[in-house]
Amino acid sequence: MRTAATSPTVAGSLLALARVQLNLTQRELAARAGVAQSTIARIELGRIDPGFESVQRILASVGLEPRIHLESLDDHDQLLIERHLRRSDVERQRVEDRHRENVAGFSNARVIEEASEPRTRSRSDN
C-alpha cells in the first residue's frame, strides 16, 4: 500500500461506487471486509492507494469483483484534429469562425424535457 496525495484514486472510486450500489456506510463496508472504517475513508479520499489485491478482497467481502475489459480504440477525435491541422490557415480560421457562430446560436436554446406521459392542458394553459 502506498501513501498518495489527497486526490481520487481508482481504488477509492471503486469502493465508493460499491457502497452506493449496495447502500452501505463506510462502517458497514469496513466491518464486512474486516478493516477499520478509517481505512475505507482514507482509501476513498485518496490518502492511501491499496494494491489491486486489497481492493479485490474488500469488494469480495460484499459479493462484488472488479472487472477490467479492453475496448477497441476510438481514435475518431484524433483523426478529426489531424485533418483540421492539415487545413490551410485561411480554411482553418473559416471553420473555427463557423464553429463559434454555431455555438453562439445555442446560447438562447431551451431544454425541452421529455414527459413520460402526455401533459393535459389545465385551465391556466388556455
What DSSP string describes 34-102?
TS-HHHHHHHHHTSEE--HHHHHHHHHTTT------------HHHHHHHHHHTS-HHHHHHHHHHHHHH
Residue 124 is assigned to a structural domain of this protein: no
Residue 125 is assigned to a structural domain of this protein: no
Domain count for the chain? 2
Amino acid identity of residue 103, one-letter, is V
Q: Give dist(CA 6, CA 20) in Å, integer.
A: 21
> Per the confidence metrics, is the pTM higher than 0.75?
no
Q: Are residues 7 and 47 in the same domain?
A: yes
Q: Give dist(CA 109, CA 112) in Å, integer.
A: 9
Domain range enclosing 94: 76-105
- 3-state SS class at 103: helix
| pLDDT tens per residue across all 126 residues of the chain | 555 455 678 999 999 999 999 999 999 999 999 999 999 999 999 999 999 999 999 999 999 999 988 888 888 888 988 998 999 999 999 999 998 888 888 777 776 765 555 555 545 544
**Start-to-end C-alpha separation, the chain:** 66
**Residue 50's CATH number:** 1.10.260.40
